Amino acid sequence: MLPRLEQITPTQSRYLEFLKTLKDSGFRGEMTQDYATRTVLATDNSIYQVLPQAVVFPMDKADVQALARLAATADWADIVFSPRGGGTGTNGQSLTDGIVVDLSRHMNQILEINAAEGWARVEAGVVKDQLNAAAKTHGLFFAPELSTSNRATIGGMINTDASGQGSVMYGKTRDHVLELKTVLLDGSLLHTCPLDVEQEKAATGQASLAGDIYRTLADIWDRRREDIEERFPRLNRCLTGYDLAHLRDEQGRLNANNVLCGSEGTLGFLVEAKINLMPIPDYQALVVVQYDSFDASLRDARALMEAGPASIETIDSKVLELARSDIIWHDVAPFFPTPPDSPTRGVNLVEFTGGGEQEVRRAVKKLTELLDDPKRTPACHYAVAFGEQAVSQVWKMRKRAVGLLAKTSGEARPVAFVEDTAVPPEHLADFIGEFRAVLDRQGLNYGMFGHVDAGVLHVRPALDLKDPETINVVRSVTEEVVALVQKYHGLLWGEHGKGFRSEFAPSFFGDLYPELQAVKRAFDPHNQLNPGKIATPDARIPLVKLDEPGQRGALDRTIPLASRRSQPDAMDCNGNGACYNFDPDDAMCPSWKATRDRRHSPKGRASLIREWLRLLGDQGLDTESLAAQTNSTPALRSLPARLRNTRARKRGQYDYSNEVREAMDGCLSCKSCSGQCPVQVDIPEARARFMHLYHSRYLRPFKDHLIGRLEQLIPFIANPLARPLYNSLMRWEPGKALVRNIGIVDSPLLAPQTPIAVAARLGIGIVNHDELAGLSEDERARSLIIVQDAFTSYFETDTFAAILESLQYLGLRVWLLPFHPNGKPLHVHGFLKQFETIAGKHASLLSYYAKYDIPLVGIDPSMTLAFRSEYRKYVSTKVPTVMLLQEFLAPRVEKLTKTLELESGKQVTLMGHCSEKTNAVGSLDQWRQVFEALGIELKIEATGCCGMAGTYGHETRNLSTSKTIYELSWGPKIRNLKNRRVVLASGYSCRSQVRRFDNAEVKHPLEYLRDMLRNRDAKDS
């Protein structure tokens, strides 16, 4: 039986006292010292894992001021903090063993957009893409770009002075910062902007912390200007971390913004920023140039610059190969034609943006003429993506590149530690040659990409940090790379900041390093903000060494091998945070979007499971043996113990497994993570395995048994005798209340007819050996076998019938597989033994009929996709392919004719199901092909999750979150579209949710086609 896990690292009493005093001082935000939240915020995207004492989530700047005011008092000078935004740093910047101050949960409002003057005022926790979505409606955008734009916050960007693709044209974040509001460590609010002479006089004359800061900055400039100008590198990327070279701007104005930008939370808490917005370029184009060597692409970049592009990015063959296997490749493949004679080993992505299409096309022509010149070397192939849609797809692919690199087999994983060097672009090719030699000498595997125009290289060598020796490789490679960047007059910290790599700062800055310390001392005299990073306030306090802080690898190492094997998804999560995606119209993690609680994200859940495995390992246990033990123990035998444990849990007895369960309970099992995460972390699988073991210790709620076995029960409840009883109970208020108390709400009613009856009316029968065996070749070619799912068959029997009828209208011969439970609800709730049995039987049934070589086709996307996902993990024999309807129809479209005509002015829109969007690449496009073949233009609407996800939305405890999720994307879209367009939805869950919350009917795509085909035939006859 799963043991109780009580041995966790508790919060130190000093910190508990601080939190209590803070609460008493009027702090209104949330604060928590629960182990789960601390565990989730113990990582960023670096090699480190540092457990904080607590996490606070301020509501507003007043809360941050209350915290800073208290922290600054002598009593609490030993309390340390790290401000945190999206937590996407790659060098431990937001990690601390003190208090994490998370400014992303509540302080994420766009306060003002002034389109006329081209600026926005935002709270620190606003995500970059969130701002750009709002600014887009004014034709504006926030220009600094970074790969993590869908999850990194403006506060984090300013604090790392982020930049990326396009930086040569648009500059870095600080080039777009107009004013900042920072809470200093005395609780005061520092409002910074460039100061003219009079303003500077007033600022430096203040008798306050702000006055000290201004005096220090002005003094450093006055004393050390020449040294600074000599030592600071003249790179497009300047320098992150107290950029003294820009203390004064070109007009000589003192600008504290330039020191705060890139200060990595070591100087104050940024709460608000006024930032510059630029007009969105009217038109874009991207020339994708492919080479037979990476070196050729790097060396050619300078020649390409002559065509005046906005940016040039390079990717190597490894990144390209990984992209080819990714969900997004489908959309960009046409821009990467495979050269007939030579393989592609390097690609330059050359972007042109401008004032209009003609101008951009002229610029592209200039480049393509250059590329077409027969005398030119090196040899290359190219294709051009024109227009915003095409260009953004290619950039999306490039943004996923880092995550994709983590998709390696074996124990070594790409890790960030020398991942963002910058050298003058003219030296980049030579520098990379030597860099490669360093990595090759160590026998490391790696992929590379970067901003060649700015001389920035991204590389994440693969290391197994579970091996205790590997940290020595991190050190020796870093030291060699530090020497190399010095040789080429570049920087180790070219883009992502310093964090725990700050130890190289003193040797880099030489005798200027004490000036950095003076800056730190002025802002943070007691070293409370991210101590040990960038600079310490005092020469006696050392910087943190790169191998000092706790590392994730060292913790993972203690997890027993068998546990790692049984929870591979939790182990594989590399923490890049792509699952913190902000976009409400993207399927990725609805539970995170609805709660803004990072425990309820794929990364959060993976982190919690890893810690669970580790704590079990501490007790000498692994999950493989626990599962074997659980499977062999009769449920009745463990019942008394489970009763006792459940009662103890109710009395408040601590067990870490309960914290993990809480996070798992919030998961919708929508599978967007498994489809969209660059390394395909499958949280529903990890969750099912956890739940299976969790319930060996604790009783299952009755509703889990009901939901898990619903599919098995349905055929009995749906028979003509039981059905009226069931439906009356569900309509009757006391009956509804009873079911609600069990934990289920808004149960759908059973349809008045059985699926067999409606199919029989259409002349469609259950498959049988004799008939199938006797089919002619021609009949077989136009036959399909429908694999039923409980939900469409029994609750939406009209839709089920319409789908069958539409297939008949399309000239197909339809057969019905007898209903058999799919088992997915059992898997979702962690009844793994039962799921294995059901899946095994269903797979045998499918195999039996697969031998007739007639396509097996499912109706509901989520149930159908279970055959190729969950089934393949639990069934020992080969599971036949069961196609989605559109997968079956799309390759047969040539047989369809464009015969359907829409009423003029009508448009048809499809809102897809999360599982098919994310796990069956291109499947929504297949619907578009089917409709197009019949003469109807189908628009695919980008949507997030509908919030239903099988039975999740029907659970009483999930009702409110389910509604919140619906309102993030589906609700507004449905209300906006339903009177103007025909709206279709391919998922049973989605249709039920629209019915439940908007009282609107949306049809299945084939239901709609059935109506259109029927009308056509009626007109024809």
Ligand X SMILES: Cc1cc2nc3c(=O)[nH]c(=O)nc-3n(C[C@H](O)[C@H](O)[C@H](O)COP(=O)(O)OP(=O)(O)OC[C@H]3O[C@@H](n4cnc5c(N)ncnc54)[C@H](O)[C@@H]3O)c2cc1C
User: Could you list the residues that contact ligand X (CB under 6 A)?
Assistant: 44-45, 82-90, 93-94, 103, 124, 146-148, 152-153, 155-157, 159-160, 162-164, 264-265, 269-270, 402-403, 495-497, 530, 576-577
CA dihedral 19, 20, 21, 27 (to 10 degrees): 70
- SS3 for 827? helix
606 binds, among ligand SF4, ligand X, none (CB under 5 to 8 A by kind): ligand SF4
Sign of the four-CA dihedral 1013, 1016, 1018, 1021: negative
Rg over CA atoms, the chain: 30
Q: Tell which positions 581-600 bind ligand SF4, by CB under 6 A.
A: 589-591
Beta carbon of residue 266, minimum distance to ligand X (angstroms, whole number): 7
Comparison of 200 and 419: residue with beta carbon closer to ligand X? 419
Beta carbon of residue 998, minimum distance to ligand SF4 (angstroms, whole number): 22
672 binds, among ligand SF4, ligand X, none (CB under 5 to 8 A by kind): ligand SF4
Q: Which of 304, 307, 310, 679 binds ligand SF4 (CB under 6 A)?
A: 679
Q: Which of 173, 258, 470, 672 binds ligand SF4 (CB under 6 A)?
A: 672
Count of C-beta atoms within a 10 Å radius of residue 840: 16
181 binds, among ligand SF4, ligand X, none (CB under 5 to 8 A by kind): none
83 binds, among ligand X, ligand SF4, none (CB under 5 to 8 A by kind): ligand X
Applying CB under 6 A, does 865 fall inside the site for ligand SF4? no
Which residue in 419, 399, 401 sits closest to 493, CA to CA? Answer: 419
Beta carbon of residue 359, minimum distance to ligand X (angstroms, whole number): 27
Rounded Cα distance, 22 and 25, in Å: 5
Comparison of 605 and 695: residue with beta carbon closer to ligand SF4? 605
Beta carbon of residue 603, minimum distance to ligand SF4 (angstroms, whole number): 4
Applying CB under 6 A, does 691 fall inside the site for ligand SF4? no
Comparison of 403 and 821: residue with beta carbon closer to ligand SF4? 403
Q: Are 150 and 583 in contact (CB under 8 A)?
A: yes
Count of C-beta atoms within a 10 Å radius of residue 282: 15
Comparison of 146 and 983: residue with beta carbon closer to ligand SF4? 146
Span interacting with ligand SF4, options 53-61, 180-188, 250-258, 576-584, rule CB under 6 A: 576-584
- Strand segments, DSSP code E, in 51-164 are 54-57, 81-84, 99-102, 110-114, 119-123, 140-141
Q: Are 163 and 420 in contact (CB under 8 A)?
A: no
Span interacting with ligand SF4, options 140-148, 567-575, 877-885, 1009-1017, rule CB under 6 A: 567-575
Comparison of 272 and 789: residue with beta carbon closer to ligand X? 272
Q: Tell which positions 402-431 bind ligand SF4, by CB under 6 A.
A: 403
Applying CB under 6 A, does 825 fall inside the site for ligand SF4? no
Q: Are 588 and 578 in contact (CB under 8 A)?
A: yes
Q: Are 264 and 93 in contact (CB under 8 A)?
A: yes
Beta carbon of residue 417, minimum distance to ligand X (angstroms, whole number): 13
164 binds, among ligand X, ligand SF4, none (CB under 5 to 8 A by kind): ligand X
Sign of the four-CA dihedral 75, 83, 505, 419: positive
Beta carbon of residue 576, minimum distance to ligand X (angstroms, whole number): 4
Comparison of 241 and 715: residue with beta carbon closer to ligand X? 241
> Could you tell me which residues come within 8 angstroms of residue 359 by beta carbon, excluding any fewer than 6 positions away?
283
> Could you tell me which residues come within 8 angstroms of residue 786 by beta carbon, excluding any fewer than 6 positions away?
803, 804, 814, 815, 816, 817, 857, 858, 859
269 binds, among ligand SF4, ligand X, none (CB under 5 to 8 A by kind): ligand X
Rounded Cα distance, 994 and 972, in Å: 11
Q: Is 583 left (phi over 0), alpha (psi -120 to 50) or beta?
A: beta
160 binds, among ligand X, ligand SF4, none (CB under 5 to 8 A by kind): ligand X
Comparison of 462 and 578: residue with beta carbon closer to ligand SF4? 578
Phi then psi dihedrals of residue 499, to 5 deg = 50, -130
Phi then psi dihedrals of residue 484, to 5 deg = -65, -45
Comparison of 160 and 645: residue with beta carbon closer to ligand X? 160
Comparison of 237 and 413: residue with beta carbon closer to ligand SF4? 413
Q: Which of 494, 577, 715, 944 binds ligand SF4 (CB under 6 A)?
A: 577
671 binds, among ligand X, ligand SF4, none (CB under 5 to 8 A by kind): ligand SF4
User: What's the farthest any 2 CA atoms get from each other in the chain?
Assistant: 98
159 binds, among ligand X, ligand SF4, none (CB under 5 to 8 A by kind): ligand X
Q: Which of 576, 754, 923, 993 binds ligand SF4 (CB under 6 A)?
A: 576
Rounded Cα distance, 724 and 975, in Å: 33
Span interacting with ligand SF4, options 90-98, 226-234, 328-336, 680-688, rule CB under 6 A: 680-688
989 binds, among ligand X, ligand SF4, none (CB under 5 to 8 A by kind): none
Applying CB under 6 A, does 684 fall inside the site for ligand SF4? yes
Quick one: angle between helices 683-694 and 602-618, nearest 10?
40
327 binds, among ligand SF4, ligand X, none (CB under 5 to 8 A by kind): none
Beta carbon of residue 183, minimum distance to ligand X (angstroms, whole number): 8
Phi then psi dihedrals of residue 759, to 5 deg = -65, -40
Rounded Cα distance, 870 and 882, in Å: 13
Q: Which residues pair with 356 in a beta bridge?
A: none
Convert residues 651-670 into a mask of x (bound to ligand SF4 by CB under 6 A) and - (unbound).
Answer: ----------------xxxx
Q: Which of 106, 671, 689, 697 binds ligand SF4 (CB under 6 A)?
A: 671
Phi then psi dihedrals of residue 535, to 5 deg = -155, 150
402 binds, among ligand X, ligand SF4, none (CB under 5 to 8 A by kind): ligand X
Sort 998 into a burial class: Cβ within 10 Å, 0-12 / 13-18 / 19+. middle
Rounded Cα distance, 842 and 824, in Å: 12
Rounded Cα distance, 138 and 648, in Å: 57
Contact residues toward ligand SF4 (CB under 6 A) are 403, 573-579, 589-591, 602-603, 605-606, 667-673, 677, 679, 681, 683-684
